[in-house]
Amino acid sequence: MSHDTLLLGQTLSFDGSPFDSGPAAATHRTHGGILIRDGRIVDTGDGATLRARNPQARIDDQGAALLCAGFIDAHAHYPQTAMIASWGKRLIDWLNTYTFPEEMRFEDPDYAAEIAARYLDLTASNGTTTICSYCTIHPTSVDALMGAAQARGQRLLAGKTCMDRNAPEGLRDTAQSAYDDSKSLIARWHGKDRLSYVITPRFSPTSTPGQLAALGTLWAEHPDLLMQTHLSEQTDEIAWVKALYPTARDYLDTYEMHGLLGAGGLYGHAIHLEPREKDRLAEVGAALVHCPTSNTFIGSGLFDMAGLVARGLRVGLATDTGGGSSFSMLRTMAAAYEIAQLRGTALHPSQLIWLATAGSAQALGIDRHVGTLAPGKEADIIALDLASTPAIAQRAARAEDLWEALFPTIMMGDDRAIKAVWIAGQAMPRS
């Protein structure tokens, strides 16, 4: 007996980047279908044709909802879930006042497990099916999130955050323990089911040169892993880095001189980049991660999406929870649009939703697994209700094409727009 499921609805997928070829990179079907078997997409196309071809498939008809790849959050801090939307000033004050005290609680495995489950519930309810997260310095924080994602069959990338200075007692490790703990966690979690370990120095101010060098050595020993950190988020942060690393040419050089620059590098924020930094990032094929709600919430600055994409850099999109003020990638797309407008570029709806799906997948190097609705990909799929509120519905009703219908949901949508979520082909419960 067939265990196939056929999802019906409007479908949207990409076979290229709309930054290269515009909206033509997308394929939209008003009456499409997605055939799922054993957690993977096995066929897509016209809904009626697929239905006739697969008469034994279980039908899940989503009506006029738009079926697309699940959202991919390329940079988050799950331990900051409980302190999201905390009033603050600049980055360093905000870290000391809110972030570090909260992260100290993750030594307790029960608390870590509670927040991990809450975080994955909140993100799934907002249509996010894959996340790349920082944990805390505690291995228990990694175990909690990895275990929770594994139980859900979810694709997750995460790592123990490493800090050995400029952090409170109880939140500092050492160069040796950062190396040892990370190596142990790699053996425990990396490549298990849909889990990936990410080497995670928080940022240069909270790591000594010795710790950065130890993590550079670890990355050289495991070159298939990703490495995530922060880069050039705020101007006063950059001045602090220059004072801490007086021999470095620039902020990026503090990583490069310790073996932490490469194609598998994920550099969050990257707002105030020097010309040399842009050249080196492009030369090695590194990825940047744009965190627009965080950049406005903490007053960091305006990311140069158009300029950096034009340089050939891969760019992912992220909530940066809890510096970012929302768990929603829809809200994140809206903020990316607003920041681009302030820089003189109007991002097209196709570019925004591509960034939140295929673009983030490419930045994380997981685009062979997720990010589009192509046959063979893992069946991480969401159904978007393009008329989820009266305000959105009345605007979408006047739309003359898909993009005009989708844009109000990007700009005004929230978790009410997420009609259904499938992770590895399994429908997630809706609250």
For residue 67, name the pLDDT band (cuts at 50, 70, 90).
very high
Residue 1 pLDDT > 50 = no
What is the model's pLDDT at position 299? Answer: 87
For residue 431, name the pLDDT band (cuts at 50, 70, 90).
low
Determine the average pLDDT of the residues in 136-152.
98
| Per-residue buried b or exposed e for 298-307, using 16+ beta carbons within 10 Å of the residue's own CB | bebbbbbbbe
The one-character DSSP state at 270 is -
Per residue in 237-287, pLDDT (tens digit) is 999 999 999 999 999 999 999 999 999 999 999 999 999 999 999 999 999
For domain 5-70+371-427, give its CATH number from 3.40.50.2300, 3.30.420.40, 2.30.40.10, 1.10.40.50.
Answer: 2.30.40.10
The CATH code that applies to domain 71-363 is: 3.20.20.140
What is the model's pLDDT at position 101? Answer: 85
Q: How many of the other CB atoms lie within 10 Å of CB of 125?
A: 19
Determine the average pLDDT of the residues in 139-166.
98
In whole angstroms, what is the distance from residue 259 CA to residue 265 CA? 11
Q: Tokens at residue 102, please?
A: 């909260």
Mean pLDDT over each residue of the chain, to the nearest integer: 96
Q: How many of the other CB atoms lie within 10 Å of CB of 168?
A: 12
CA of residue 348 relative to chain centroid, distance: 20
Per residue in 115-143, pLDDT (tens digit) is 999 999 999 999 999 999 999 999 999 99
What is the model's pLDDT at position 267? Answer: 98
In whole angstroms, what is the distance from residue 50 CA to residue 44 CA? 8
What is the model's pLDDT at position 328? Answer: 97
Q: How many of the other CB atoms lie within 10 Å of CB of 114?
A: 16
Per residue in 200-246, pLDDT (tens digit) is 999 999 999 999 999 999 999 999 999 999 999 999 999 999 999 99
Per residue in 11-41, pLDDT (tens digit) is 999 999 999 999 999 999 999 999 999 999 9
Give strand ranges (E) for 334-401: 381-384
| Of 94 and 143, more confident | 143
Q: SS3 of 55, please?
A: coil
From 237, 277, 274, 222, select the one nearest 255 (Cα to Cα): 277
What is the model's pLDDT at position 96? Answer: 76
The one-character DSSP state at 96 is I
Determine the average pLDDT of the residues in 294-320.
95
Burial of 400 (0-12, 13-18, 19+ CB in 10 A): exposed
Residue spans per domain, the chain: 5-70+371-427, 71-363
**DSSP for 309-328, written as a single string:** HHTT-EEEE---BTTBS-S-
Q: Percent of the chain, pLDDT > 90? A: 91
